Every structure is written in structure tokens, then in C-alpha cells.
Amino acid sequence: MKQIYDIKNDVNAMRSKIKKIEKFDDIIGRQLSELSLMVNNFERDADFLASTDRNLRIAVIGQVKAGKSTMLNALLFDGECLLPSAATPMTAALTVIKYSPQMKVEIEYYDKNDWNNIVSISKNYEKLIGETRQKLIKERNEQSAPLFGTPAFASQTSEISLQEILLNINMPEEFKVCNELVTMAASIRDIDSYLGRTEEITGINEHKELLEKLHNYVGTKGKLTPLVKSATIYYNDRRLEGFEIIDTPGINDPIISRGQKTKNYLGSCDVIIMLSSSKQFVDSVDMQLLAQNLPEKGIKEIILVGSMFDLTIYGEHQKYPNINALLSSMELKLEEYVQKSFSDLEKKCKTAFEKEILQRLKNVVPIFISSMAYIAAKHNNEMNADERHIVNLLNKMYKEQSFGINELIELSNIPALKSEVEKQMNKKSETINSRFSERANSARSAFNNFLLTIEEDVKKYLLKLDSEDMASLQSKEKEITERLSHGKNKIENTFDNLNIKIRQDLSMLVTEIKSISLQFEKIKEKSESKTESYEEKIPRKVLGFDVSWAFGYRTETHTRTINYHYADVHESISLVKEFIYEAEKKIKQSIIDIVDIVSFREEVKKGAMSLFDMKDVNFDFEDISIPVERAVKKIAIPEIEFGDKDYSATIVSRFNKGRVYDNEIQMLRSAQSEAIYQVLEEIDSAVKIKIKEIIQMLETSKSEFLDSLLKEINEELNLIKTQLKNKQASKDNLNSLAGVIKEIKYM
């Protein structure tokens, strides 16, 4: 009870401080809203955390497609695929997993405000599509218009595909997300009857039945998936007793209400499992996710997990003599890579919050896992195509090494992750008891830091009011505009150089993949022999004369060896799938290497900053650096995706048996070559489209960057101009605000 009483005092004190600065709403309106939200979240979290007789809450966070659901299926359900992956990151709902003797599912739908907002944003998508379509039609008609007269056809609407339209738009992510949700929901009758409701699904007796029912609400083709904000699964496995798992959607959820619900849950969590792909382990996006969520929440227990380890080691095996050398070296390399990543990130840390997180992460030993290897081991003889494919790839790395159940489990490292979770469970009481005070301390610290930030802003504005006048601001605005205008070519050259590099390197990529394809076109022709018996008719003879005409023939049984050639149809299918796997991996990795957006942003930022002489007393570093930082963050490239078409169907449709013999072998070779050719054609098309998408997006960023930067800078200057119009009153108001903050910040 003392804890609750202390929190009430803290919350009341914070709200009292906010009350004292509410009259300065015209200066700090946005900050006031953020402070109030911060206090409300703290109060809600504290109510939950104050209870010591509760479950330990473990949250799983990570970027989109880091493999969260697959990991949880391996970690919690021993390989049973209970948690389906969402159709896309856009439809992913927050999922809470708890123990209950009786299995059931609780579904929370969006409320009417949520859905109306989603529909409204979706209309912006359609509007932008329509406007761009008309623009392209107009451009096409102008290009095709004859020198005299009017064009024979005034409109070519039908010839402009949606894909072509999207290539000409830098479509905001939230527009795409909301459009997808609304499109998916089109088949649902009476949407309003679901909105704002919660639904309980009971009467579930078997795990398979639970999975089947769950698919309708959170699965890829679930009828109600687009309307679901969150799902709580009650699972009758005693291994879940004492804790609950929160499976969060991917980072930067464009659906505000869903993203807010995720943040609300994080505040009441005790442990974080941070999942990051082993291929790009703990990058700047991961750090952003941690920085946004951990410091204010006061969470100190972090389990750092590198996912998809199987994809990391495959392709590296040729450098090492055996599996043990490969695994030892890769683990060492990844650990070194992690340390380098932390060192690089440390240089970029701007706030005490980020530095605090980084320091915690440095003390965490990462666990590298392969959830697919573990699930494949548990499924053993009942593996699906993806699991079997992974095992086939692993088995081909070394002739003397095959991956059976034990080897797959050892490679998966899931037992080590389970052990880490068990450690957290063993110190559950200690964690829960300390969690309340950690959250309270972090809330107080965050609140006071926010007040300090406001105080610094006030000081900055006061200095500017003393040092600036309308003439100097107009002069500064003019000089900034001129500098940006003169430096336009320099900035645009940075974009153009990347465009050239992308075109050249990605064009070469198709040639490289064609070369790789040759390794997968060869089918091993195998030889076998078999012994068979046959009968031979022998003429009857008497005294050396053939008398078979009178007495018939006698029969002798002999044996003979027949040699024949055959090829394995399953091996041919596997080679096509391996090629697709290798090609996809090559494409994704190459695009990551070629289009290093983080480095590119830094290069643009450096170029923009070089346009200004920071030694000039007329320029304040923050006046330029903060707007540049904001403008650079808007530079983006499209997501990298590759199709999931089953190219092996060409082979399957022609051969309905496991082996082909003699003349059929050439037919199998032709079918396999045709399948690989189909893949190459699609890759060639996909890469060309991807080049066009990336170039288009960078062209848009190039054309908008300087305007965006100028707008950011001018917003700051205009604020000062407004204050200068009534300079003394503005100064008096700012000084009053500074005095109140000084009075309350350490109360």
C-alpha cells in the first residue's frame, strides 16, 4: 500500500507542476500534451506494477520480419506453429500469451474512432493514386499529340497500371497500411457490428482447433484480421505458468492506436527480448526502437537475440573445413560485429537515454538462434516444404556432416534461450519487487529531463530575442536560401552519384545471378544395375540332329546383369529451390550493400552542413543541424521483397514419379532449365522494377530535400519573427516560464 501511496504523491506532484505551466500553452502547447501523456502512462503502469502477486511480463520487440512469431513457436510451444505470421507487417496485431487450464482467445477490435481514422487515411491513398493517374495520362497524351490537330485518342487510362502509378509516387507508409486494411475488410459485412467490441472464443479442446480458430482473426487470410487490434491467447501449457509473453507488432506501427497500445504494454513489462536479424544485428533502427521505449519505462532486464542464424552460416561454409570450425568462427565474428556495432552506435548517441541503453546492451551476451532448425527437428518426419528445404541446405554444406534431430537442436540454440528465460523466471520475485521502483525512478527522471529540455528551449529563444531583430532574421533567411540554392548542385550530385551506382551495381547483379544459376542446372546422372532371370528355348537334338520339330523345345533358365541410368526428380526440384533461395539471398544482401541508406543519409547531411560556415557568428549550429537532421530522416527507399511463386511446378506437372530413366533424363534436364529460366526472367524483371522504384524514390527525395530543409529552417525563424513582433511581451512571457520551470523542476 505504501508503494501505491508514494505513486499517488508522485503523480499528483507532476500534475501540479503541469498545472503551473499550462498558462504558457501558446509557447509549449505540444510539450504540455506530451507531459500529460507521460504522467497518465506512468500512473497506469504503476497500478499494474504495484501488485507483487502477478505474472512476470516478457515483451518481444524487434523490426518487421525479424522472426518473432517463429521464435515464440519454438520457445514456448516446442515447435508447434501456434502463432501464425500475419499477412503483412501492416496487419500484425499485438498478441498476449498467458496460461489458463481452459484454452480460449480474447479478441479486441478497433473502436469506431480507430477505424474511421483508418478509412480516412485510406481515402488519401486512393486520392493520390487518382491524381497521379490523371497526371500520367496528361503527360502521355501530350507526348503522343500530333504536331497539328488533336490526338486520335484523348485518354489512355486503361494502359496505365497500378504498378506504374505507384512507381511515380513516394506513397506515405500510413496510406499503404490503411488502404490494405480497408481493402481486406471489404468482404466483411456490417463492419460496425465489430468495432469497439471484444470477443471471447471458447470451447476449444485441442491445440489444432485453437490454431484453426486463431487464423480467422490474425492469420494471413483471416476474415476478421484487418479489424483486430490485439489478441490474448490463453494456452493450457503449465510451462507458461507464472509469466506472460507480449508479441509486439513491428517497429514504427503506422496505426497510431495499435502502436500506442503496444507502448502501453511495454510500460508494464518486466523483461525485454530484443530480436534482431543476425544478418544486420542491432542496427540503427533497432537502437531507435529501444531508445523510444526503454528509458522512460525503466526496464533493465534485456535478452538480446540474433535470429535466422541458419541463413547467416549458409554460404559461409566453403571457407571452413567442418561444421565445428564454421560455427565457432561465425559466433566469434558475430560477437566482434556486435561490439563494432555498439562502438559505431556510441558515436551517434545524442541523449543520455540512448547512452544508458547502449551501456546495458554492452553487458548482455547475445544468443544467436535458428528457430526454423528447432522446429524442423521437432517435426522430424512431418516437416513442411520450408523446413525440409532448410535441412537440405544444411546437409549439403559438408559431406561428412548430416543434420539429424540432435544436430538441428544444437544448431538452433533454442535450449540456451529457454535457459535464459528460466533464469528470468527464477528471479521473478526480485525483478517484480524492483520493477516498481525502477519505473517510478525512470518516470521522475524522464519528467524532469523534459522540463530541462523546455528550459533550454526557453533560454535559446531569449538569447535569440536579444541577439536578433527583423532585419537580421530576414538577412539570415536570405543568406540561407542563397547558400542552399548555390549548393543545390552539390546536394543533387550526391543523389545522382548514388543513382548511377545503383543502376550499375544492380544491373551487374542480374549477370552474377545468371552465373550462379549454372551451378544449379546440372542433374547428377546415376548408374545402377540389376540382375534378372530369363528363360531360353533350346532345340532338342538326337545324334546331333535338330528334332525340335518333332519333340519341341526344352527351356533353360539363365541370369543376366542390366545396367541403366536414372536421375532423381526430387533432387531436380531441390536444385531449383536452392537456386531461388540463393538468388533471393543474393538480391537482398546486394541491395543492402549497394543502397546503404544510413551511410547515404550521413553523406547528404555532411554535404548540407558543409554549405554553411559554422565559424560565422551569424549562424547558430543548432539552427542548421536540427533542421538538417529532420530533413535527412525523410529520405527513404522501398522495402525489398521477392516473389514466392512455386517455380518447381514446371517439373512436378511433368513427372509424377521419383525417378526418371534413360531418355527421360534429358526431358527432366529441359524441365529444370525451363524452371530456372523462369526464375531468371522474373529476377531480371524484379530487379529492373526495384531499380526504377529506388531511383524514383531518390529522385523524389532529391527534388524535395532542399525545400524540406528550407521549410524546417524557416519554421524556426518564423517562430522568432512572431516573438519579435512584440519583443518585450515575448521576453517577459519567456522569463516568466523560465522562472516557473526553475521553481518546479526539483520540487
Q: Is the pLDDT of residue 198 over 90?
A: yes
177-186, 335-344, 350-359, 539-548: range with highest mean pLDDT: 177-186
Cell of 373: 532448425
- pLDDT of residue 122 exceeding 60: yes
pLDDT at site 2: 46
pLDDT of res. 196: 92
- Nearest one of 76, 180, 58 to 119, comparing CA atoms: 180
| Each residue's pLDDT tens digit, 20-39 | 998 888 788 778 888 888 88
Contact 95, 218 (CB under 8 A): yes
Residue with C-alpha cell 516444404?
385
Q: Is the pLDDT of residue 620 over 70?
A: no
Q: What average pLDDT does the segment 569-593 reach? A: 74
Please state, in angstroms and rounded to a whole number, the distance separating the CA atoms of residues 185 and 399: 51
CA distances from 319 to 15, 277, 322, 513 (A): 62, 22, 9, 20
By mean pLDDT, which of 146-155, 178-187, 344-353 is the weakest? 146-155
Is the pTM of the predicted complex or chain greater than 0.85? no
Instruction: Return d(Cα 349, Cα 456) in angstroms, integer.
Output: 19
> pLDDT by residue (tens digit) across 297-314?
767 788 989 888 887 787
Helices and strands of the chain, counted as H and E runs: 26, 14
Q: What's residue 153's pLDDT? A: 44
Per-residue pLDDT at 43 exceeds 60:
yes
Highest mean pLDDT among 156-165, 401-410, 598-607: 401-410
Helical H segments across 50-111, by residue range? 68-77
Residue with cell 490463453: 234
Give the sign of the dihedral formed by CA 583, CA 588, CA 594, CA 595: positive
Buried b (16+ CB within 10 A) or exposed e, 336-355: ebbeebeeebeeebeeebbe
Identify the band that residue 171 occupies on the pLDDT scale cut at 50, 70 and 90.
Answer: confident
The Cα–Cα gap between 652 and 650 comes to: 6
Most confident of 202-206, 353-357, 707-711: 202-206
| Sheet containing 526-539, strands listed edge to edge, beginning at the edge strand earlier in sequence | 526-539, 553-568, 659-661
Tell me what the mean pLDDT of segment 708-732 comes to.
Answer: 78
pLDDT tens-place string over residues 336-371: 777 776 776 666 666 565 676 677 777 788 899 999
Residue 415 has pLDDT above 90, yes or no: yes
> Which pLDDT belongs to residue 309?
84
Evaluated on CA atoms 584, 589, 594, 600, the torsion sign reads positive
Tell me what pLDDT residue 413 has.
92
Q: Could you tell me the CA-to-CA distances from 400 to 223, 321, 391, 441, 493 in Å, in that order?
A: 48, 11, 15, 56, 53
Greatest Cα pair distance, the chain, in angstroms, is: 143
- Mean pLDDT of all residues in the chain? 78
